[in-house]
């Protein structure tokens, strides 16, 4: 981290959706901000912690939607800090878990701007937990892999290798490419009746959960109109999905 030349930028994780899952440090830092650059997935209730007079700049980034260019966001962070402001970059989940935080800190380093990170609860842990699914389990899931289903350059993930890993797979941004993800996992030897789950709008009142199997995953997502933001969980632990009013369907080991 570099010595500040003017202001400071805080990269703050706003968590998976429920504003009560903010950390105490996040609340304090948000309250000290002169300006906040806010992603679309940040719950508007989080902004109530800003002090009166703080500016809010919405720099939405959503898969499949019109987004603010990343280069513009980085220039804005630098410019606001160089103007002497305390800047909060509010991101859903955690800034360093599929949050482009590394790109932004590199830009800040290049400009000599001081920055700090306030970690947030990432959806890859919180969404399964909200559905009653532990991402690790001593008997059913001895490891977990966090993967993005959408890459910047369109490069393919080695789903066949992941299928052979024996790990619980937690997939961010996987709804659009679910069919090809399932195909890759099946080609890697993952069995058709392996438990799978989808959690949409995790931790919020509108949360929806599908408990299903790998072979039915794509069809069930389409049938129930599940869209982003959503997390996919594939592995034995997904069978622990709680059957509540939020659970749309449950298929017990159906191939």
Active site residues: 39, 61, 173
Cis peptide before 229 (omega within 30 of 0): yes
Which tokens hold the place of 215? Answer: 């072979």
Indicate the burial class of 81 (C-beta count within 10 angstroms; 0-12, 13-18, 19 or more). Answer: buried
- Measure Cα distances from 17 to 37, 60, 62, 130, 152 in Å: 17, 15, 15, 11, 24
Q: At what angle do helices 70-82 and 101-110 cross, to 10 degrees?
A: 50
Does residue 24 contact residue 100 with C-beta atoms inside 8 Å? no
Distance from C-alpha of 215 to C-alpha of 220, rounded to nearest angstrom:
10
């Amino acid at each position: 981290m570099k010595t500040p030349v003017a202001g400071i930028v805080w990269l703050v994780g706003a968590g998976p959706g429920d504003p009560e899952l903010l950390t105490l440090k996040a609340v304090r830092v948000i309250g000290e901000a002169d300006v906040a650059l806010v992603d679309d997935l940040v719950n508007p209730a989080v902004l109530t912690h800003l002090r009166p007079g703080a500016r809010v700049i919405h720099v939405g980034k959503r898969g499949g939607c019109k987004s603010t260019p990343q280069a513009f966001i980085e220039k804005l962070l630098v410019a606001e800090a160089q103007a002497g402001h305390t800047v909060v970059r509010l991101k859903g989940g955690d800034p360093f878990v599929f949050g482009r935080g590394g790109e932004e800190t590199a830009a800040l380093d290049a400009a000599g701007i001081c920055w700090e990170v306030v970690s947030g609860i990432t959806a890859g842990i919180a969404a399964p937990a909200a559905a009653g699914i532990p991402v690790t389990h001593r008997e059913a899931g001895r490891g977990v892999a966090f993967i993005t289903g959408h890459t910047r350059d369109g490069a393919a993930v080695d789903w066949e290798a992941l299928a052979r890993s024996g790990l619980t797979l937690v997939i961010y941004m996987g709804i659009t490419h679910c069919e090809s993800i399932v195909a890759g996992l099946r080609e890697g030897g993952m069995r058709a009746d392996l438990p799978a789950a989808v959690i949409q709008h995790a931790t919020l009142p509108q949360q929806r959960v599908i408990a299903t199997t790998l072979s039915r995953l794509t069809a069930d997502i389409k049938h129930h109109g599940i869209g982003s933001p959503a997390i996919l969980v594939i592995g034995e632990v997904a069978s622990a999905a709680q059957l509540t009013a939020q659970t749309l369907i449950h298929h017990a080991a159906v191939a």
